[in-house]
Amino acid sequence: MNEECPFCSNAATYKKIIQYSNLIWVKCNNCNGGRLKSYISELERESDTLHDVYKRYIESSRIFDKIAKEKANWLLSKWNENFIVVEIGAGLGSVAKQLREINPSIPYMAIEPNSTFADYLMGQGTKVFTGDPLVSLENAVKEVISLNKKALFLMDNVLEHVPYPTKYLNFLQSISPSGSIICIEVPNEAGLKWRAEIQDFIRGFKKPPTFPGHINLFTKRVLRYTLLKASFVNISVKYKAIRSDEQVAYLLQSEKLSLKTKLAVRFLKFIPVDYLLGIPYWLRGEAQVR
């Protein structure tokens, strides 16, 4: 396989990380960036299953609200009146709702290519740019510039779904006002192969090692590399670990947690095994437009 790498943009060769049914995840021999071998994003795939997943998301928005507050506060720590919050892939707008509750005067706009979510957001009275992802990004940024502001971008578990993340971020960086900031959370896919084996063993049956919609696999190093390659400055990438029942409920899409799960969460608070192994569940990247 000699396809263009989504991370380093080379005509790269890949080695296989893991296979589940007909899904194969591979890793670039040049930059170590991981990807789904058949590199088709959800927007192009139009799968029924994914549509069902999103429908379920809408039904369980209460679970999202619970963890969105912490994310709203993360953004607020970067915000001042020179910024407009621009959320890319806003989904159900859970973070927007929490921002409004904390401070209703914080300006917010959403970019949401998925029409189910876009309709839902507009119904909530949110300003939404929808349609082609690059055109809507450009239009949102134009609006930020016309208001003489900078953008405070949020990509909350979105970049793993975006085709060619380095090119996308480089485009975003090139059109945005200097001093704009981006906050990115993605799943940490480090150790995917052996984590999948342990998870299958505990579960007693096989499941995909990660969500099949994750066409890009990030590790701490790969996220940093992507931001650097996209020409951002002041880059920071940190782990964000699971330490609350609300986070697990969000991941499982169910508020009914087993005692075993609850005990596991308590255990991690005392012995941070995930940090020791470099596999806390999420990564958080922050960077600035030069």
Q: Count H helices, E strands: the chain?
A: 12, 11
Structure tokens at 52: 């069902």
Q: Give 7 or 250: the residue with its C-beta nearer to Zn ion.
A: 7
Q: Give 17 or 128: the residue with its C-beta nearer to Zn ion.
A: 17
- Distances in Å between the alpha carbon of 76 and those of 184, 219, 240? 14, 25, 17
Structure tokens at 128: 């939404």
Q: Give 12 or 137: the residue with its C-beta nearer to Zn ion.
A: 12
Rounded to a whole number of angstroms, the minimum distance from the CB of residue 229 to Zn ion is: 9
Q: Give 14 or 120: the residue with its C-beta nearer to Zn ion.
A: 14
Q: Give 12 or 128: the residue with its C-beta nearer to Zn ion.
A: 12
Rounded to a whole number of angstroms, the minimum distance from the CB of residue 108 to Zn ion is: 34
Rounded to a whole number of angstroms, the minimum distance from the CB of residue 7 to Zn ion is: 5
Rounded to a whole number of angstroms, the minimum distance from the CB of residue 35 to Zn ion is: 9
Rounded to a whole number of angstroms, the minimum distance from the CB of residue 208 to Zn ion is: 23
Give the closest residue to 189 by CA, choosing from 275, 280, 127, 266: 280
Query: Among the residues of the chain, which ranges form H helices?
Result: 42-45, 48-59, 61-76, 94-102, 115-123, 133-146, 165-175, 192-203, 220-229, 245-252, 259-270, 273-277
Query: Within 33-62, which residues bind Zn ion (CB under 5 A)?
Result: 33
Q: Give 166 or 188: the residue with its C-beta nearer to Zn ion.
A: 166
Q: Give 33 or 285: the residue with its C-beta nearer to Zn ion.
A: 33
Number of residues binding to Zn ion, judged by CB under 5 A = 8
Query: Within 4-33, which residues bind Zn ion (CB under 5 A)?
Result: 5, 7-8, 12, 28, 30-31, 33
Rounded to a whole number of angstroms, the minimum distance from the CB of residue 5 to Zn ion is: 3
Structure tokens at 112: 């949401």
Question: From edge to edge, which strands make up the β-sheet containing 14-20?
Answer: 14-20, 23-28, 34-36, 216-217
Residue 230 in contact with Zn ion, rule: CB under 5 A:
no
The CA-CA-CA angle for residues 72, 77, 83, to 5°, reads 85
Written as one letter, the residue type at 137 is L
Paired with 86 in beta bridges are: 109, 153
Query: CB under 5 A: which stretch of 3-11, 40-48, 70-78, 114-122 binds Zn ion?
Result: 3-11
- Distances in Å between the alpha carbon of 183 and those of 30, 115, 122, 186, 219? 26, 24, 23, 10, 16
Which residues of this chain interact with Zn ion, rule CB under 5 A? 5, 7-8, 12, 28, 30-31, 33
